[in-house]
Amino acid sequence: MNVPPGMTEDLAAEFMRRLTAGDTLRKITSGDKRCGPALVTPQRFKKHCELHPEWAVEARRLAHVNEQVAARVRATVTWRLAIDRSAEKRRTAERCKNGHIRTLENTFYEQHLGYLVRRCKDCIKNRRQLLMPSADQVRASIASLHEGATLSSAASHVQQSMRNFIRANPKLGARLRYISDKNAHAHRSAAQRARRQFAASSLTRNDGQDAYEAVRQATAHVPEDEREDVMSRMFVAIGEGRLKLPDVRSRVGEFLAEQRRRPRVYGEARFSLNNPLGDDSDMTWLDTKTDADRLWA
């Protein structure tokens, strides 16, 4: 069998030039629609490599590099085309993959791999309703409840899964809700106490001089026999957070009226002459009255 001879010097130089330019061995030896016919046949290239080993080493190295680059380009182009076709199909579909009709109300868009992709709210809602927590998530939620947390303090996806778990286990769910409500009530009480403590700082600010001076100036017009009692009531209100220092002057009338109010009852008992003198006495207040105490003759 006749073996094709090697390439001429000009042909070998052109072959090397095309390899250096980035052409693959397949394009040079087999031809391409864009690059035209083949420069040489594969058999002739092999024969030239046998005749010129040093030239063959550089030629094969360049051919290997060009083939790797071409493979990456083909993979990238194919991957991008597939993504484009898939995204276009989803964008133009009238129904989602689960059969829900796409409307403006149940459709939203989000970025995915650099593209806008339509999402179905009905599908997401159905998935959330079926989502159940793992055993570790249930244990962690119960442990956090015993440590003072609430069901609403967990992450959003854990909250949804725990709601599904509570609906599926009503007896245990009722107990978890009770603990959560109890912790929430404790948190509100602590916050209330914190607010009162924060308000009480206005009573002790500057060693109490600010509060004392504000109350003293506000009660300067109050009769002297009632002034100390009104000031005491105002100090208590400031300490409990019911009265702020800027409002002392405008609200002094409320505390004066409270001081002057005369209740009809003392504790749980009414003021009556039939009341006993003491807890261990059978004598009433009426028994102590004489004729001299009568208002009429």
Q: What is residue 95's DSSP assignment?
A: B
Question: Where does the pLDDT of residue 196 fall: very low under 50, low under 70, confident under 90, or very high at 90 and above?
Answer: low
Residue type present at position 153: S
Q: What angle do CA 249, 253, 255 make, to 5 degrees?
A: 100
Share of the chain above pLDDT 90, in %: 3
Mean predicted confidence (pLDDT) in 233-255:
86
Q: Which residue has the higher pLDDT, 46 or 89?
A: 46
Q: Which residue has the higher pLDDT, 288 or 25?
A: 25
Report residue 117: phi and psi, to 5°.
-120, 135
| pLDDT score of 199 more than 80 | no
Q: Which value, in Å, is the radius of gyration of the alpha carbons in the chain?
A: 47
Distance, in Å, from the CA atom of 158 to the CA atom of 152, rounded to the nearest integer, reads: 9
The answer to whether residues 15 and 45 touch, using CB atoms and an 8 Å cutoff, is yes
Q: Which of 172, 145, 170, 146 is nearest to 158 (CA)?
A: 145
Q: Is the Cα dihedral 183, 187, 189, 190 positive or negative?
A: positive
pTM value is: 0.32
In tens, the pLDDT along 201-228 reads 666 677 778 888 889 999 999 888 888 9
List residues bridging with 255 in a β-sheet.
Answer: none
Mean pLDDT of the chain: 79
With a CB cutoff of 8 Å and minimum separation 6, the contacts of 113 are 83
First to last CA, the chain: 161
Distance, in Å, from the CA atom of 16 to the CA atom of 9, rounded to the nearest integer, reads: 11
Distance, in Å, from the CA atom of 255 to the CA atom of 261, rounded to the nearest integer, reads: 10
| pLDDT score of 267 more than 60 | no
Of 14-23, 273-282, 288-297, the range with the highest mean pLDDT is 14-23
What's the token pair of residue 194? 């914190």
Question: What are the E-state strand segments in the chain?
Answer: 107-112, 115-120, 265-266, 269-270
Distance, in Å, from the CA atom of 115 to the CA atom of 221, rounded to the nearest integer, reads: 76
In tens, the pLDDT along 123-137 reads 888 877 777 888 888
- Alpha helix (H) ranges present in the chain? 9-21, 25-30, 42-51, 53-92, 121-130, 135-146, 156-168, 170-204, 209-218, 224-240, 248-260
